Amino acid sequence: MEKKKAIIIGAGISGMTAGIYAQENGFDVTIYEKHSIPGGQCTGWKRDGAFIDGCLHWIVGVNPKLQLFPIWKHIGAFDENTKIYLTDYFNKYDIDGEIVTFYSDLKLLKQELLRIGPDDKKIINEFIRGIKHYQHVTIPVEKPMDVMNLWDYTKIGLRMLPMLLPYLKYTHITVKEFAEKCKSKLLEKTFKKALFEDYNLHSLLYIMQALSQNDAGIPEGGSLNVSLRIAKRFKNVGGNLVLNTSVKRILVEDNKAVGVILDNDEIVKADYVISAIDVHYTLDKLLDNQFKVDFYHNRFNKRDTNPLSLCVLASYKVTKDISNIPRMIEFDIEPFYIGKAKISVLNPRNYSFDKTLNDGFTTMTVLIRVGDDLYDTYKSLSREEYLKEKERIGNIILNHLKNYFKLTDDEIKFIDLTTPLTYERYCNSYRGSYQSFVTTSNHEKLMDTGLIDGLKNFVIAGQWVMPPGGLPIALFTGRHAAYRITRWEKKKFKA
Ligand SMILES: Cc1cc2nc3c(=O)[nH]c(=O)nc-3n(C[C@H](O)[C@H](O)[C@H](O)COP(=O)(O)OP(=O)(O)OC[C@H]3O[C@@H](n4cnc5c(N)ncnc54)[C@H](O)[C@@H]3O)c2cc1C
């Protein structure tokens, strides 16, 4: 019997995951990717001979005993033999000369928080208890929630029972509100620094449960190698990966997706289409605004309560041995502005732990969250002005890094800066967003289905389906997309 054809738009983590599972479930899969390499935002590149990891601060799912590992392994991202650099601490903060470590290990974390906030035992205990409750978090990876039966819900519900009440409580409390309950100013500052203040506490507890269970780390070789391994796996299971090829339209006939039109106007027909790219681009450009999906529409139109995640990423080549410098540390600086965002701290990442990335030197990157305004500001600049602005930011940060880490001109060099325009150019990301919506305390429904009312044989995968996005979301929404098309064919999903 001839195989059914599935087209996937985008070879990011979600697209490739969907591709592997769909191919294994009997589809003839082609992925179209606009870039010359697969991986999307999970990537890396070279500048001035230095390798820049453009993504991973950590990947959740590296603990073989926990839920996500088997899926990462299945798609070839990493396995038990891959060297993983675990994240021993969430971050270090230099607060007026006092170094506070936000440890991953809960005993160490409690000790550290009590050291700086001895009078805040109650709130510290509440926080640690919250993390422990969140260790029961169970992501609906097996199948999408809307197709679960009573038994599936019962299983997940029972596993997640301990975190149900904490979830209901902490999803509506911001990190800032929680921090302000502390008596110790140092502890309050530490909590405020732990995550952007408008994020809800739920997001912090979710991250901390992963760190505390040794489930977050960086596979050796970094982001690009993770992506290349997944692409290799996709090809090994028989998938067809077409690079340097943009999709410009999804073909719709009789309320059904029936294929795509490529940028060279070629029409490619298919039985199913999975869009694994930026959701705004999918709805606005590829579907020509014919469909309104409330989940996204409401968020795109209420960006004050559903802000986008915009950033700049500055990269530096360091020729001195900096293995004695922490992998991450945040310190205060004399404020400067990027657009309307006042930048008063820097949080460099030191990649010297992975010797396979560079030979004889290393890179340091600094990710800075910026406001939504920056997109319009940068769009209005000429190429010359834009490049000048990038130099300005790169050099301000360079001087701070030199001062803080006592590095000379010869030892550290500014080599690259990505901006929202970079993410728009390479990934078609809406307003240059590098993840999806920030999960604030006012956020609405947690997760979308990826389906569009009135459009059959079509599904959306990727980080936008479940804010705030990130690699695990890309992973399991990709798998869900393959699950859906398999079930639409009335076949059992082989995982
Ligand atoms: C600086 C940075 C740091 C990050 N740090 C982390 C981290 O530490 N941990 C973590 O979990 N996550 C992190 N993320 C987020 C993570 O990288 C993303 O959530 C994830 O990679 C998104 O995957 P995706 O498949 O949903 O989308 P994308 O990666 O955006 O993939 C979409 C793909 O579709 C392609 N495409 C777009 N339009 C078209 C078209 N019309 N036709 C064909 N192809 C198209 C794009 O080129 C891209 O390859 C980080 C991201 C960045 C940028």
Q: What tens digit of pLDDT does each residue of 179-231 get?
A: 999 999 999 999 999 887 778 898 899 999 999 999 999 999 999 999 999 99
Ligand 1 near 17 CB (within 6 A): no
Centre of ligand 1 to C-alpha 463, Å, is: 8
**Residue 40 alpha carbon, nearest atom of ligand 1:** 49
As a whole number, mean pLDDT of residues 23-48 equals: 97
Q: What is the edge-to-edge ordering of all strands in the sheet holding 84-86? A: 59-60, 216-219, 84-86
As a whole number, mean pLDDT of residues 280-294 equals: 95
Ligand 1 near 58 CB (within 6 A): yes
Grade residue 408 by pLDDT with cuts at 50, 70 and 90: very high
pLDDT value at 442 more than 70: no
Written as one letter, the residue type at 104 is S
Written as one letter, the residue type at 154 is T
Phi/psi at 10 (nearest 5 deg)?
Answer: 105, 125
pLDDT value at 445 more than 80: no
Candidate from 55-64, 124-133, 259-268, 302-311 with smallest mean pLDDT: 302-311
The pLDDT assigned to 446 comes to 74
Ligand 1 near 55 CB (within 6 A): yes
As a whole number, mean pLDDT of residues 9-32 equals: 98
Ligand 1: residue of 7, 41, 250, 367 to mutate (most ligand atoms within 8 A of CB) is 41
Ligand 1 near 56 CB (within 6 A): yes
Mean per-residue pLDDT over the chain, rounded: 94
pLDDT value at 168 more than 70: yes
As a whole number, mean pLDDT of residues 281-304 equals: 91
- Residue from 253, 251, 256 nearest 288 by CA: 251
**Residue 463 alpha carbon, nearest atom of ligand 1:** 26
Grade residue 443 by pLDDT with cuts at 50, 70 and 90: low
Integer Cα distance of 243 and 10 in angstroms:
9
What contacts 69, CB < 8 A, 6 or more positions away?
61, 62, 63, 215
As a whole number, mean pLDDT of residues 282-288 equals: 97
As a whole number, mean pLDDT of residues 240-260 equals: 98
**Residue 474 alpha carbon, nearest atom of ligand 1:** 26
The pLDDT assigned to 165 comes to 87
The pLDDT assigned to 156 comes to 87
Integer Cα distance of 177 and 298 in angstroms:
25
pLDDT value at 485 more than 70: yes
Contact 281, 275 (CB under 8 A): no
pLDDT value at 302 more than 80: yes
As a whole number, mean pLDDT of residues 252-261 equals: 97
pLDDT value at 444 more than 80: no
Integer Cα distance of 64 and 277 in angstroms:
29
Ligand 1 near 190 CB (within 6 A): no
As a whole number, mean pLDDT of residues 96-106 equals: 96
Ligand 1 near 10 CB (within 6 A): yes
Residue 100 pairs in a beta bridge with 93
Residue with tokens 């990876």: 141
pLDDT value at 438 more than 90: no
pTM: 0.95
Residue bearing the bigger pLDDT, 2 or 457: 457
The pLDDT assigned to 18 comes to 98
The pLDDT assigned to 441 comes to 65
Grade residue 359 by pLDDT with cuts at 50, 70 and 90: confident
As a whole number, mean pLDDT of residues 90-101 equals: 95
Integer Cα distance of 367 and 55 in angstroms:
10
Q: What is the pLDDT of residues 141-150, one digit of tens each?
A: 889 989 999 9
Ligand 1 near 277 CB (within 6 A): yes
Contact 443, 32 (CB under 8 A): no
